[in-house]
Structure 1
Amino acid sequence: MASAASDAVALGIIGFGIMGERLLRAALGHPAPPVRLSGIWDPSPAAAERLKEVSPDLSMAGSAEAVIAGCDLLYIAAPPAAHLPLAEAALGAGRAVFLEKPLSHDTVAARRFVERAEASGARAGVNFPMASSPAVAGLRDWIGEGAVGMPASLEIEVAFATWPRSWQRDAAAWLSGRAEGGFTREVVSHFLFLTRRLLGPLSLESARARFPGDEGAETAIEARLSAGGTPVLLRGGVGTTERDDTNSWTLRGPAGAVRLRDWSVAEREGPGGWAAAPDALPNERMRPLVLQGQLDKAAAMTRGEPHSLATLREALEVQEVVEAILAAG
């Protein structure tokens, strides 16, 4: 087991879908790896084939239990219904846990889990990558320098050509369903986390959600919230753009406006319109760097060192707002 900052933390991964693969690639490409892969498991034969393509030297472990037994840190990237049982098993075995969001599709169960984990001092964080985003750090700096002044309003907009997005088709069985999937859980939650981090506690004031006639995920939402006293307008819809997805987080105040566009581009409004930060990168190039930052923080968490990953409490607050929006449909 890892015992010093110079030791690579033994990382186990359960779930080798899109996010499991992305995190593994980030670990393999890290210039100074803080983790070493100790085991990976997914029950899907297709996942095993993808693993061979990513790294021919790696193979699937025999079970989830074997991965937990061999790791210091467990990354849980399975569908939401499996998150809490796997996290409970790992924490019970003395491991640190790095969870995908949402904590669960069951808010009551998530609340109980967070209360127990906090009471026990569990080492656990949630993968909201904006916690390691250079673009978000730039926004924070601009806001701190007075680019906005006292925040007056925030507008969050997300749009999708289809749901799930084209690259998520392999996970459509659960992503397209009302029980566990939908863009509010999968995408809007990231921007609610960002809002919570930069502006303060979230309070939902009104919401509506539109669903198809079957058990499919939502096709549109609109909500009004408050974040640390700042009014927030949130809108999202499917079939409202030709792109896989597009999004913006725009904060305005008496001194000006800043925004995060398409996940990774920080922009500041000036006399000539919107201007991107000099170091802005498209999300395809930014994402691996952000995930490597997340791995650095997860390794620090495992060693009991300070870190700035999303906490279980932050993730729970976001989940509660998301589920309340969906319940308004």
Structure 2
Amino acid sequence: MAAIALGIIGFGIMGERLLRAALDHAAAHVRPVGVWDPSPEAAARLAAVAPAVPALGSAAAVIEACDCLYIAAPPAAHIPLAEAALGAGRAVFLEKPLAVDLAAARGFVAKAEALRARAAVNFPMASSPAVAQLAAWRAEGATGPAESLAIEVAFATWPRGWQRDAAAWLSRRAEGGFTREVISHFLFLTRRQLGPLVLQEARATFPAGEGSETAIEARLTAGGVPVTLSGGVGRTEQDDHNTWTLRGPAGAIRLRDWSVAERPGADGHWQQAPDALPNERQRPLVLKRQLASVAAMTRGKDHPLATLREALEVQEVVEAILAAGLSG
């Protein structure tokens, strides 16, 4: 079966990462046919990274050339680009969040669902081997019925060191912040593992001016299971440290630093799965699986990618957490 033609709009960190994965690991599934980004620096970087992939002159040109459009632009552009692509009969693979305007996101999802649009959102945990390991442990009875979940995220600085080129929007509350960029992934994981999310209480701290949040705390439920959530900047010396810890009467399991599945050993200390890989080594495998699923989605086949509805449910919680800080 021929690889699907993939167009990319936005050639920042995520656009480049997905393009490299497409070329290096997923050529059997997708064939990059064009990239557009308004930045001259992005075009120069594309020429260095993938000289065979053309830098097209407009978003419309990329949509015209592709079977599926990957949207890696800043959030305010997500819905207009997605609507243009869907209107042209293309499939769409979106970065999260859908938007930062909840009313616009709700309207877009309702319209796309009514049209049975081929669209999905890039939450890589949908294709994570570590997440599959957690699910297998749960199926074996490692926790028994879920009783509680704790999610903790910490950063040395925000944006993280490798995101400095995108700081112009990632560091500002209008579109950026770690709750949208990072916590959303763990809320998606929670929704998939436990069930619908219901926010009960939240607190967010913002600096003076227009900067993004520096700390959040929240309580919610997922499928009725109590969940505690905390995150903050300046809480670790690492770029990024996180844990997702599920407990039940039979024991506990956790996901650490994005990609390491762990459970307590006989001595009570956390022990990682025998085939666990650090995130930088697991990422190519995850992205290959994501892109295989993008190809399936584009062909109208079943796939495990995050649906628009799942992404909207996550976004509803994220924006409510942030609003709690702005209204407090």
Residue 35 of structure 1 aligns with an amino acid whose one-letter code is V
SS of 2:57's equivalent?
A: coil
The one-letter amino acid paired with 2:290 is Q
- Cα RMSD of the aligned pairs, angstroms, is 0.8
Contact 2:33 2:54 in 1 (8 A): no
What residue in structure 2 maps to residue 327 of structure 1? 323
Does the 8 Å contact 1:153/1:230 carry over to 2? yes
1:17 matched to 2:12: yes
The one-letter code of the counterpart of 1:121 is R
Secondary structure class of the residue paired with 2:11 = coil
- How far apart in 1 are the matches of 2:291 and 2:27? 11
Do residues 114 (structure 1) and 106 (structure 2) align?
A: no
**Are 2:33 and 2:53, in contact at CA under 8 Å, matched by a contact in 1?**
no
Counterpart in the other structure of 1:95: 90
Q: Are 1:286 and 2:274 an aligned pair?
A: no
Q: Which residue of 1 aligns with 2:81?
A: 86
Residue 171 of structure 1 aligns to a residue whose secondary structure is: helix
Q: Please say if 1:173 is aligned against 2:157.
A: no
Structure 2: distance between partners of 1:212 and 1:144: 43
Could you tell me which of 135, 150, 171 is aligned with 1:140? 135
Determine the C-alpha separation between the residues in 2 that align with 1:304 and 1:14: 22
Q: 1:245 and 1:320 mapped to 2: Cα distance?
A: 24
The amino acid that maps onto 2:172 is G
Deviation at 1:53, TM superposition (A): 2.0
Structure 2 partner of 1:35: 30
1:208-219 matches, within 5 Å, as: 208-219=203-214
Alignment partners' CA distance in 2, 1:271 and 1:321: 37
Q: 1:150 aligned to 2:145?
A: yes
Relative to the length of structure 1, the TM-score reads: 0.97
1:252 and 2:223 correspond: no
2:48 alignment counterpart: 53
What CA distance in whole angstroms lies between the structure 2 residues aligned with 1:76 and 1:155?
31
Match of 2:273 among 277, 281, 285: 277
One-letter code of the match for 2:254? R
Instruction: Determine the structure 2 residue equivalent to 1:77.
Output: 72
Q: SS in structure 2 opposite 1:46?
A: helix
Deviations 1:63-113 (A, max 9, x none): 100000110000000000000000000000000000000000111100000
The Cα offsets for residues 1-60 of structure 1, whole Å up to 9 and x where unpaired, read as xxxxx0110000000000000100100111652011111100111111211221122331
Q: Detail structure 1 runs of 4+ shifted over 2 Å in the superposition.
A: 56-59
Q: Deviations over 1:134-183 (max 9, x none)?
A: 00000011011110001111000000000001111111010000110000
Question: Aligned partner of 1:299: which letter?
Answer: A
Give the structure 2 partner of residue 242 of structure 1: 237
Aligned to 1:3: none
Q: Within 2, Cα distance between the matches of 1:199 and 1:51?
A: 40
Distance 2:71 2:199 in 1: 29
The answer to whether the 8 A contact 2:26-2:291 is kept is no
Separation of aligned partners in 2, 1:31 and 1:326: 37
1:182-209 Cα offsets, whole Å, 9 max, x none, are 0000000000000000000000000000
CA–CA separation in structure 2 for the residues paired with 1:151 and 1:183: 27
**Matches of 1:316 and 1:64, distance apart in 2:** 24
Partner of 1:223: 218
Give ranges in structure 2 of 5+ residues lacking alignment.
none
Match of 2:295 among 293, 296, 299: 299
For 2:294 and 2:321, the matched residues in 1 are separated by 30
Cα distance in 1, alignment partners of residues 27 and 12 from structure 2: 25
Q: TM-score, normalised by structure 2?
A: 0.98
Contact 1:48 1:59 in 2 (8 A): no
The 2-side partners of 1:43 and 1:94 are apart by 24
1:310 equivalent in structure 2: 306
Q: Equivalent pairs: percent with the same residue?
A: 75
2 CA distance for matches of 1:328 and 1:243? 27
Q: What SS does structure 1 have at the residue aligned with 2:158?
A: coil
